[in-house]
């Protein structure tokens, strides 16, 4: 579908960018993005994807909005407390941009349903707060040949990377998987949750916005993605650092001993 006059005006600041332009904005309109988690990272991510004109946004979350969420999850209002996050987030999207189709998935994603959900979308953004979900999503994206933007938060720190493990790099070697970076999840309970350790309220806004930037990059192709690179943010010193990582031939997905699924 072509853009109407009101869409051209709405996205004018994108369209005048040579790196995006009309063709890039049309790609955004035609894109389907699945957001895993409508919490701290998902809130700014969903907001900026909707504002950017992504044609279809799927939101996966089985949690309920609580009063303590409002310190950082700014797409929710006080009257949303008690509502399903996916439903409240979808309502926010429709109010922000009527040109975006939004799908609510009030469920928890796991190894049994991940591939079925992901198969209907072009790009995935993973912003959940638990390791089981991260591994289920990253594995499913590899098998379904989908790029996935992975974000994570600590108390005063955050991280971000883009995984395109189904593709090869310029040197002909496979791109790294999430399991090349983190082969195994840490033991349960070894890393405190945000509820246990706390989190600086503005921090998810920064990391979630960077995730949105990476998703838009994956759709339009501008610039250089964070493939094989882990971006780290330390809010205590306001320092960014980028670490490089590569394909591990022993990883269970694309390594020498892997089994096709």
pLDDT tier at 209, thresholds 50, 70, 90: very high
Using pLDDT thresholds of 50, 70 and 90, give the confidence band for residue 249. Answer: very high
pLDDT value, residue 83? 98
**Strand segments (E) across 85-213:** 101-105, 123-126, 148-153, 157-163
pLDDT digits (tens, 9 = 90+) for 45-56: 999 999 999 999
Task: Read off φ and ψ for residue 143, nearest 5 degrees.
Answer: -70, -30
Return d(Cα 110, Cα 86) in angstroms, integer.
17
Catalytic residue, chosen from 81, 185, 194, 235, is 194
Confirm if 124 and 36 have CB atoms less than 8 A apart. yes
pLDDT tens across 232-246, in order? 999 999 999 999 999
CA 171 from centroid of its chain's CA atoms = 27
Question: Considering Cα of 112, then 116, then 117, then 118, what sign does the dihedral take?
Answer: positive
Question: How many Å apart are CA 124 and CA 114, to the nearest integer?
Answer: 11
pLDDT tens column, 96-117: 999 999 999 999 999 999 999 9
pLDDT digits (tens, 9 = 90+) for 117-176: 999 999 999 999 889 999 999 999 999 999 999 999 999 999 999 999 999 999 999 999
Comparing CA positions, the residue from 77, 80, 38 lying closest to residue 57 is: 38
Query: Average pLDDT, stretch 34-63?
Result: 98
Q: pTM of the predicted model, to two decimals?
A: 0.96
Query: Does residue 194 have an active-site annotation?
Result: yes
Of residues 29, 38, 28, the one with CA closest to residue 105: 38
The yes-or-no verdict on residue 60 having pLDDT over 70 is: yes
């Amino acid at each position: 579908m072509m853009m109407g006059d009101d869409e051209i005006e709405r996205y004018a600041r994108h369209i005048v960018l040579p790196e995006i332009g009309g063709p890039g904005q049309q790609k955004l309109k035609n894109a389907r993005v699945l957001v895993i988690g409508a919490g701290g990272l998902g809130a700014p991510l969903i907001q900026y994807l909707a504002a950017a004109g992504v044609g279809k946004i799927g939101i996966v979350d089985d949690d309920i909005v609580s009063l303590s969420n409002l310190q950082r999850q700014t797409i929710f209002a006080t009257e949303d407390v008690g509502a399903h996050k996916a439903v409240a987030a979808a309502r926010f999207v429709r109010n922000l941009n009527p040109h975006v189709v939004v799908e609510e998935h009030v469920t928890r994603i796991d190894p049994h349903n991940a591939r079925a959900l992901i198969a209907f979308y072009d790009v995935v953004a993973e912003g959940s707060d638990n390791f089981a979900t991260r591994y289920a999503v990253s594995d499913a994206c590899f098998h379904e040949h989908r790029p996935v933007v992975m974000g994570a938060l600590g108390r005063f720190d955050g991280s971000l990377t883009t995984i395109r493990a189904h593709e090869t790099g310029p040197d002909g070697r496979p791109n790294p998987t999430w399991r090349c970076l983190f082969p195994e999840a840490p033991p349960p309970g070894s890393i405190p949750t945000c509820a246990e350790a706390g989190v600086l309220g503005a921090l998810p806004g920064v990391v979630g916005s960077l995730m949105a930037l990476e998703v838009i990059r994956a759709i339009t192709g501008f610039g250089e993605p964070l493939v094989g690179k882990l971006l780290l943010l330390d809010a205590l010193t306001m320092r960014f650092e980028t670490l490089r990582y590569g394909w591990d031939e022993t990883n269970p997905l694309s390594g020498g001993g892997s089994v096709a699924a």
